[in-house]
């Protein structure tokens, strides 16, 4: 029966059926899987293998949601009030105020909608990039596909570290253990097998099934997919899981807080302004009352940076897209800011700091050593005797046998594809295959040995073994092992010496360890190879210990050169006050040597071993992480402890990992970093960031990007807050000091410096284009020249607040002075009417915002430094200026905004007055720079670099004694 005939997919319990029957029912060939055409047909029929989230919000709901904001309600009230006033006064002409406010409400909504859509788009793109993958067999070929493309009947291949992509019935399982904690809450991995169950069992006991959302902890298996999407067990409880909404990041929370505080303050000020106007200006007509009311409302609306959270999302989203282009896939927007404040990067060595392209370069046996030349996977290179005197007889034969055993105890494959030599599987294992070819023994043993069992490699055990039936020994079974030499030695009792096998005594062990140390000090990754011939031709029962009394065949040294860009990245990180820790399973001397080559500064000067860590309690470990930067022969469990110790020391930790057991450490690090190429699905799911190229340099690039984004957020916060404060102060002081600046009420009007529509206009202009352009400001060269931000640092600190208020005051002063200059009376005598003077003042305030955009790019660096670096900003400024010219010169906009054309001289006057904001801030920056320089001269950390964006209250975070010196 084809699946489509079986009604709902979950209707038959596959655990009660023979595996062959399940395959038959789903039309799956147990060897070659489904045909590609059939897969496509089923994809169409069953849809994507996804948990269906709440139905997507229709566009109109999204649009409407833009209006769901208390400030917008206020504007609606304002519209109603002004329409009412217009009607009461006889409904002459157009109700301009109401129309302008309505237009502004719509423009705000459009802006909000567009930005929200953009952010959403970016998040979706990221989800696609970090999607989980599954291995399937289709039309006989094995391939990796996004798990979302799985269909019922697909033949899945499971391996250690894979995330199970759909519910499936096992057809084969070897030492398969699956962690089902996500589904059943059971933390212990469940052993799986193929046999049919006698009776229906609870989820956790269906040992012949695997379920979506769980992870393969060990072993391998094959299974036929029985349910996808909402039909899976996970789908049944999906309602509980569909709370995937992104939590607001700490930054967004803080900004929200600032917005609310500011909003409250502004509401109070607006109320005071309105009351002052009503009380002092003598309100006689309904129109006057409405003007006062509208002024209050518009002030409140203009001064609250309500667009901030959205702009921040957009800026984060754009940053995340840029990071993705640089191979760093960040899964959550909020991780971007954490990345920017990372103070320690803990990195694996193999493949991340090194190239991960293994070449076997040395073979050492009891008879002597050979050097194997050549690099990479091409089988080109010579084999030379490495010792003094003539080459000992039998050395080559023993080396060839050793490398042959190494090949047997591995699962990699190697071959030529389109003229390129490529490997599949573990590069360490592939190195043996290449070396075997160089030794002239290409495919030896292919027919001789038949694999009958395997004890898999784990990072904890650091060795692996296979059981092979040897045709030349009459099918008798041998154990062949390879692993870290120091570990393997504990399992050996004998050593091969030419044709002889001799007992491995203490002196012999010391000799081997000495060889290993020499290889390690030369940066070789070392592996030992050993074997034991069993008597029978039966493979031992599962669970019977076979890795004992082995005969040590010898040791090999594998070259894994450091990535050239890694050294630069390490230097970059240390300049930025970010400590680099190397945590590896490799030999301590190899680790130390590679660390030295890469410039990783290890204050202690020697690697700390996993076994050393075991002896330390938590306090001792905290002490140790201060002094040690290189950790060797560690297991994933140690990684977790190192993360905890560093976090207890106040660090923000980025930690890399690739194996299944790295998942807990990846989860508890502030930024777990998984490997896109060599990492397991499980580690990728646990991580916050995925390195598409496995490259350490990419982590540092992402930190740089994170810092750049954070500093841009500070820039537009500085800009928006000072603009808003400027508007509030202008109106507030204008009303209070009306008499001083010569502001008197015109007939039928009120003595207010700016009108409601003008304030809303300024707000719309500044909140949109220039603020966004600032969010994509090119990162300044100095982002990596200062220590990382500490956890306690505020985004908007005291220095920034002080600057914001000062700039606001200057804006207000310039605007009101212009009003005074043009109006008769006041401090300076002028001869313009109120309409003219107000238009000029309005223009001054707009231009002041534009000048301020140039200021806001840095707290301390002159605006003239890299003045044209951000072309988006100039485009935004140009657009804003053009719009203001239109508002001043186009007749219909004159009516809408109560403006009148200005002369060229007046425009110049406005520009001159507005530019005082620029000159004032330049002066302020100069003073700050001087103060910074003298502080630096006095050796006081904190602001560190001249161009620091940090507040003056922040202490320097915990620093590496060597690396963390501020640039
Ligand atoms: P990193 O954590 O930096 O990636 P690593 O890859 O060296 O380090 P492990 O994979 O745990 O860490 O390897 C530790 C040791 O185990 C290696 O130094 C090597 O001696 C041995 N080893 C590595 N891969 C294998 C393998 N496939 N078979 C047998 N032994 C191996």
Between the CA of 494 and the centroid of ligand 1 the distance, in Å, is 23
Task: Give every CB contact of residue 19 below 8 A, 6+ residues apart in sequence.
Answer: 30, 169, 170, 171, 194, 196, 208, 224
pLDDT grade for 175, boundaries at 50, 70 and 90: confident
Query: Does residue 948 register a pLDDT over 80?
Result: no
Segment among 378-382, 499-503, 564-568, 938-942 with least mean pLDDT: 938-942
What proportion of the chain, given as a percentage, has pLDDT over 90?
A: 42
> Ligand 1 pocket, 391 CB below 6 A?
no
Between the CA of 585 and the centroid of ligand 1 the distance, in Å, is 6
3-state secondary structure 408-436: HCCCCEEEEECCEEEEECCHHHHHHHHHH
Top mean-pLDDT range of 133-137, 252-256, 712-716, 863-867: 133-137
Which tens digit of pLDDT belongs to each residue from 217-251?
888 899 999 999 888 888 877 655 544 445 566 67
Query: Does residue 959 register a pLDDT over 50?
Result: no
> Ligand 1 pocket, 679 CB below 6 A?
no
Which tens digit of pLDDT belongs to each residue from 348-397?
999 899 998 899 999 999 999 999 998 888 888 889 998 888 999 999 99
The CA distance from 826 to 470, in Å, is 107
DSSP assignment letter at 459: T
Average pLDDT over residues 637-651: 93
pLDDT value, residue 527? 97
Nearest to residue 559, comparing CAs of 522, 612, 516, 605? 522
Top mean-pLDDT range of 119-123, 872-876, 936-940: 872-876
pLDDT grade for 73, boundaries at 50, 70 and 90: confident
Average pLDDT over residues 84-96: 78
| Residues paired with 417 in a beta bridge | 420
Write down the H helix ranges in 440-552.
485-489, 506-521
**502 phi, psi to nearest 5 deg:** -120, 160
Q: Which residue's CA is minimally distant from atom 1 of ligand 1?
A: 584
Average pLDDT over residues 817-835: 86
pLDDT grade for 281, boundaries at 50, 70 and 90: low
Distance between first and last Cα of the chain: 71
> Ligand 1 pocket, 463 CB below 6 A?
yes
Nearest to residue 149, comparing CAs of 32, 52, 50? 50
pLDDT grade for 324, boundaries at 50, 70 and 90: confident
Residue reference for tokens 């050492």: 364
Q: Which residue's CA is minimally distant from atom 19 of ligand 1?
A: 484
The CA distance from 137 to 126, in Å, is 27
Query: Does residue 684 register a pLDDT over 50?
Result: yes
Cβ distance 713 to 721 under 8 Å?
A: no
pLDDT value, residue 749? 63
Helix axes 696-736, 564-575, angle to 10 degrees: 30
Q: Which residue's CA is minimally distant from atom 20 of ligand 1?
A: 484
Between the CA of 561 and the centroid of ligand 1 the distance, in Å, is 15
**573 phi, psi to nearest 5 deg:** -65, -40
The CA distance from 963 to 569, in Å, is 13
Cβ distance 670 to 649 under 8 Å?
A: no
* 833: enclosing H helix or E strand: none
> Ligand 1 pocket, 525 CB below 6 A?
yes
Query: Is 348 an annotated catalytic residue?
Result: yes
- Per DSSP, the residues of 349-381 read STTTTB----EEEEEEETTEEEEE---TTSS--
Tell me if residue 917 falls in helix, strand or coil. helix
Q: Which residue's CA is minimally distant from atom 5 of ligand 1?
A: 585
DSSP assignment letter at 754: S
Segment among 526-540, 549-563, 871-885 with least mean pLDDT: 526-540
pLDDT value, residue 949? 41
Query: Between 116 and 662, where is the model more confident?
Result: 662
What is the β-pairing status of strands 209-210 and 190-191? unpaired
| CA 484 to ligand 1: nearest atom | 20
pLDDT value, residue 531? 96
Segment among 206-215, 837-846, 857-866 with least mean pLDDT: 857-866
> Ligand 1 pocket, 527 CB below 6 A?
yes
pLDDT value, residue 939? 42
Q: Which of 462, 611, 634 to mutate to test the pocket of ligand 1 (most atoms within 8 A of CB)?
A: 462
The CA distance from 755 to 296, in Å, is 10
Q: 282: alpha, beta or left, given left = phi > 0 and alpha = psi -120 to 50?
A: left
Between the CA of 458 and the centroid of ligand 1 the distance, in Å, is 8
Cβ distance 664 to 636 under 8 Å?
A: yes
Cβ distance 3 to 152 under 8 Å?
A: yes
> Ligand 1 pocket, 457 CB below 6 A?
yes
Q: Which of 353, 412, 465, 483 to mutate to test the pocket of ligand 1 (most atoms within 8 A of CB)?
A: 483
Long-range contacts of 897-905 (CB under 8 A, 24+ apart): 897/100, 897/755, 897/757, 897/758, 897/761, 897/842, 898/96, 898/755, 898/757, 898/758, 898/835, 898/838, 899/758, 899/835, 899/838, 899/839, 899/842, 900/835, 900/836, 900/839, 902/836, 902/839, 902/840, 902/843
Report CA dihedral (593, 599, 603, 604) to the nearest 10 degrees. -10
Nearest to residue 742, comparing CAs of 827, 833, 811? 827
Query: Does residue 3 register a pLDDT over 90?
Result: no
The CA distance from 880 to 364, in Å, is 74
The CA distance from 723 to 807, in Å, is 8
Between the CA of 859 and the centroid of ligand 1 the distance, in Å, is 48
Between the CA of 586 and the centroid of ligand 1 the distance, in Å, is 6
pTM score of the predicted model: 0.79
Between the CA of 592 and the centroid of ligand 1 the distance, in Å, is 16
> Ligand 1 pocket, 634 CB below 6 A?
no
| CA 349 to ligand 1: nearest atom | 3
> Ligand 1 pocket, 464 CB below 6 A?
yes
pLDDT grade for 542, boundaries at 50, 70 and 90: low
Cβ distance 815 to 917 under 8 Å?
A: no
Average pLDDT over residues 856-872: 87
> Ligand 1 pocket, 483 CB below 6 A?
yes
Which tens digit of pLDDT belongs to each residue from 19-32?
899 999 999 999 99
The CA distance from 650 to 439, in Å, is 53
Query: Does residue 964 register a pLDDT over 60?
Result: no
> Ligand 1 pocket, 18 CB below 6 A?
no
Rounded (to 5) percent helix, strand, coil in the chain:
50, 15, 35
Number of alpha helices (DSSP H) and beta strands (DSSP E) in the chain: 31, 27
Cβ distance 496 to 366 under 8 Å?
A: yes
> Ligand 1 pocket, 38 CB below 6 A?
no
The CA distance from 751 to 813, in Å, is 17
Between the CA of 426 and the centroid of ligand 1 the distance, in Å, is 10
Query: Does residue 875 register a pLDDT over 70?
Result: yes
> Ligand 1 pocket, 454 CB below 6 A?
no
The CA distance from 261 to 252, in Å, is 14
What is the β-pairing status of strands 476-483 and 492-497? unpaired
Task: Measure Cα distances from 426 to 423, 459, 588, 679, 695 in Å.
Answer: 8, 13, 21, 11, 17
Segment among 7-16, 608-617, 781-790, 845-854 with least mean pLDDT: 7-16
Q: Which of 585, 631, 632, 658 to mutate to test the pocket of ligand 1 (most atoms within 8 A of CB)?
A: 585
Residues in the chain: 967
Segment among 184-188, 461-465, 914-918 with least mean pLDDT: 184-188
Between the CA of 524 and the centroid of ligand 1 the distance, in Å, is 12
- Per DSSP, the residues of 468-510 read EEEGGGTTEEEEEEEE-HHHHHTTEEEEEETTEEEE--HHHHH
Q: Could you tell me the two tokens for 767?
A: 């909140």
> Ligand 1 pocket, 744 CB below 6 A?
no
Query: Does residue 965 register a pLDDT over 70?
Result: no
> Ligand 1 pocket, 584 CB below 6 A?
yes
Cβ distance 921 to 807 under 8 Å?
A: yes
pLDDT value, residue 603? 85
| CA 459 to ligand 1: nearest atom | 11
Q: Which residue's CA is minimally distant from atom 12 of ligand 1?
A: 585
Which tens digit of pLDDT belongs to each residue from 204-216?
889 999 999 888 9
Residue reference for tokens 């209070």: 736
The CA distance from 447 to 356, in Å, is 30
Q: Which residue's CA is minimally distant from atom 9 of ligand 1?
A: 585
Between the CA of 457 and the centroid of ligand 1 the distance, in Å, is 9
Q: Which residue's CA is minimally distant from atom 2 of ligand 1?
A: 584
Between the CA of 678 and the centroid of ligand 1 the distance, in Å, is 13
Average pLDDT over residues 812-819: 94
pLDDT grade for 422, boundaries at 50, 70 and 90: confident
- Output the average pLDDT for the chain: 84
Which tens digit of pLDDT belongs to each residue from 611-633?
999 999 999 999 999 999 999 99
The CA distance from 718 to 917, in Å, is 14
The number of beta carbons lying within 10 Å of the beta carbon of residue 506 is 7
pLDDT value, residue 442? 65
Which of 149, 154, 162, 348 does the annotation list as catalytic?
A: 348
Nearest to residue 405, comparing CAs of 349, 355, 460, 363? 363
> Ligand 1 pocket, 547 CB below 6 A?
no
- Per DSSP, the residues of 596-609 read HHHT---TTSSPEE
**413 phi, psi to nearest 5 deg:** -125, 160
Helix axes 798-822, 696-736, angle to 10 degrees: 40
| CA 462 to ligand 1: nearest atom | 16
| CA 485 to ligand 1: nearest atom | 20
> Ligand 1 pocket, 585 CB below 6 A?
yes
pLDDT value, residue 2? 46
The CA distance from 112 to 313, in Å, is 11
Q: Which of 527, 607, 696 to mutate to test the pocket of ligand 1 (most atoms within 8 A of CB)?
A: 527
> Ligand 1 pocket, 349 CB below 6 A?
yes
Between the CA of 484 and the centroid of ligand 1 the distance, in Å, is 7
For the chain, how big is the Rg over CA atoms in Å?
36
Average pLDDT over residues 587-609: 91
Query: Does residue 587 register a pLDDT over 90?
Result: yes
């Amino acid at each position: 029966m084809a699946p489509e005939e079986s009604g709902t997919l979950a209707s038959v319990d596959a655990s009660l059926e023979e595996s062959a029957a399940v395959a038959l029912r789903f039309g799956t060939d147990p060897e070659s899987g489904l045909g590609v055409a059939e897969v496509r047909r089923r994809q169409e029929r069953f849809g994507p293998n996804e948990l269906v989230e709440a139905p997507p919000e229709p566009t109109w709901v999204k649009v409407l949601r833009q209006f769901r904001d208390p400030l917008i309600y206020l504007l609606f009230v304002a519209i109603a009030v002004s329409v009412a006033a217009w009607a009461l006064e006889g409904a002459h002409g157009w109700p301009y105020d109401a129309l302008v406010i309505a237009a502004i409400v719509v423009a705000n909504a459009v802006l909000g909608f567009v930005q929200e859509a953009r952010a959403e788009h970016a998040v979706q793109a990221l989800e696609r990039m970090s999607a989980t993958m599954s291995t399937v067999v289709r039309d006989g070929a094995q391939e990796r596909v996004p798990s979302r493309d799985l269909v019922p009947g697909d033949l899945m291949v499971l391996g250690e570290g894979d995330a199970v992509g759909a519910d499936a019935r096992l057809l084969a399982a070897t030492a398969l253990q699956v962690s089902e904690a996500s589904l059943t809450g059971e933390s212990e991995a469940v052993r799986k097998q193929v046999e049919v169950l006698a009776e229906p069992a609870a989820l956790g006991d269906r040992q012949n099934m695997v379920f979506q959302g769980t992870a393969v902890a060990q072993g391998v298996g094959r299974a036929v997919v029985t349910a996808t999407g909402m039909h899976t067990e996970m789908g049944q409880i999906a309602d509980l899981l569909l709370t995937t909404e992104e939590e607001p990041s700490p930054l967004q929370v803080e900004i929200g807080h600032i917005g609310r505080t500011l909003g409250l303050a502004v509401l109070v000020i607006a109320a005071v302004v309105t009351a002052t106007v009503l009380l002092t200006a003598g309100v006689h007509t309904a129109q006057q009352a409405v003007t006062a009311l509208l002024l209050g409302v518009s002030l409140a609306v203009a001064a609250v940076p309500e667009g901030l959270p959205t702009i921040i999302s957009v800026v984060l989203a754009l940053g995340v897209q840029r990071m993705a282009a640089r191979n760093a896939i960040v899964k959550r927007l909020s991780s971007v800011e954490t990345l920017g404040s990372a103070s320690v990067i803990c990195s694996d060595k193999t493949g991340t700091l090194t190239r991960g392209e293994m070449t076997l370069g040395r073979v050492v046996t009891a008879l002597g050593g050979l050097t194997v030349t050549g690099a990479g996977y091409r089988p080109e290179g010579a084999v030379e005797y490495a010792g003094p005197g003539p080459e000992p007889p039998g050395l080559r034969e023993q080396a060839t046998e050793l490398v042959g055993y190494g090949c047997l105890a591995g699962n990699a494959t190697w071959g030529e594809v389109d003229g390129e030599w490529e490997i599949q599987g573990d590069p360490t294992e592939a190195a043996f295959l290449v070396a075997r070819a160089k030794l002239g023994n290409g495919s030896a043993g292919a027919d001789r040995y038949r694999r009958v069992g395997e004890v898999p490699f784990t990072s904890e055990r650091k060795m692996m073994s296979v059981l092979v039936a040897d045709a030349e020994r009459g099918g008798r079974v041998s154990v062949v092992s390879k692993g870290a030499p120091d570990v393997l030695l504990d399992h050996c009792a004998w050593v091969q010496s030419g044709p002889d096998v001799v007992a491995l005594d203490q002196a012999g062990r010391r000799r081997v360890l000495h060889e290993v140390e020499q290889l390690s000090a030369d940066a070789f990754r070392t592996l030992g190879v050993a074997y034991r011939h069993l008597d029978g031709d039966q493979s031992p029962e599962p669970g019977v210990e076979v890795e004992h009394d082995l005969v040590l065949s010898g040791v090999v040294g594998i070259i894994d050169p450091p990535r050239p860009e890694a050294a630069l990245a390490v230097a970059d990180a240390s300049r930025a006050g970010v400590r680099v820790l190397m945590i590896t399973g490799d030999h301590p001397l190899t680790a130390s040597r590679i660390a030295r080559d890469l410039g990783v500064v290890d204050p202690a000067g020697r690697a700390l071993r996993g076994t050393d860590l075991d002896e330390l309690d938590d306090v001792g470990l905290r002490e140790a992480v201060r002094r040690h930067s290189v950790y060797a022969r560690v297991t994933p469990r140690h990684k977790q402890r190192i993360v905890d110790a560093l976090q207890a020391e106040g660090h923000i930790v980025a930690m890399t990992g690739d194996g299944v057991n790295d998942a807990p450490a990846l989860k508890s690090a502030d930024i777990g970093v998984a490997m896109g190429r060599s990492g397991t699905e499980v580690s990728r799911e646990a991580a916050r960031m995925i390195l598409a190229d496995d490259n350490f340099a990419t982590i540092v690039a992402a930190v740089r990007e994170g810092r750049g984004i954070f500093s841009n957020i500070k820039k537009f916060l500085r800009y928006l807050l000072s603009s808003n404060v400027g508007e509030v102060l202008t109106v507030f002081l204008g009303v209070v000091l009306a008499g001083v600046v010569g502001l008197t009420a015109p007939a039928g009007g009120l003595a207010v410096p700016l009108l409601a529509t003008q304030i809303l206009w300024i707000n719309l202009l500044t909140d949109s284009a220039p603020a966004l352009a600032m969010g994509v400001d090119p990162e300044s060269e100095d982002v990596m020249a200062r220590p990382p931000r500490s956890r306690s640092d505020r985004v908007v600190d005291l220095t920034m607040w002080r600057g914001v208020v000062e700039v606001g005051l200057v804006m207000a002063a310039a605007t009101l002075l212009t009003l005074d200059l043009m109006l008769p009376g006041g401090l300076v005598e002028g001869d313009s009417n109120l309409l003219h003077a107000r238009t000029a003042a309005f223009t001054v305030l707009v231009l002041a915002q534009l000048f301020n955009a140039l200021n806001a790019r840095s707290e301390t660096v002159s605006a003239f430094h890299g003045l044209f670096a951000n072309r988006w900003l100039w485009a935004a400024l140009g657009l804003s200026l053009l719009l203001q010219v239109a508002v001043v010169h186009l007749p219909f906009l004159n009516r809408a905004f109560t403006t009148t054309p200005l002369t060229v001289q007046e425009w110049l006057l406005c520009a001159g007055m507005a530019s005082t904001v620029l000159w004032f801030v330049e002066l302020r920056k100069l003073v700050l720079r001087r103060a910074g320089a003298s502080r630096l001269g006095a050796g006081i950390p904190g602001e560190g670099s001249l161009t620091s964006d940090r507040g003056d209250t922040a202490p320097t975070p915990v620093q590496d004694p060597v690396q963390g010196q501020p640039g």
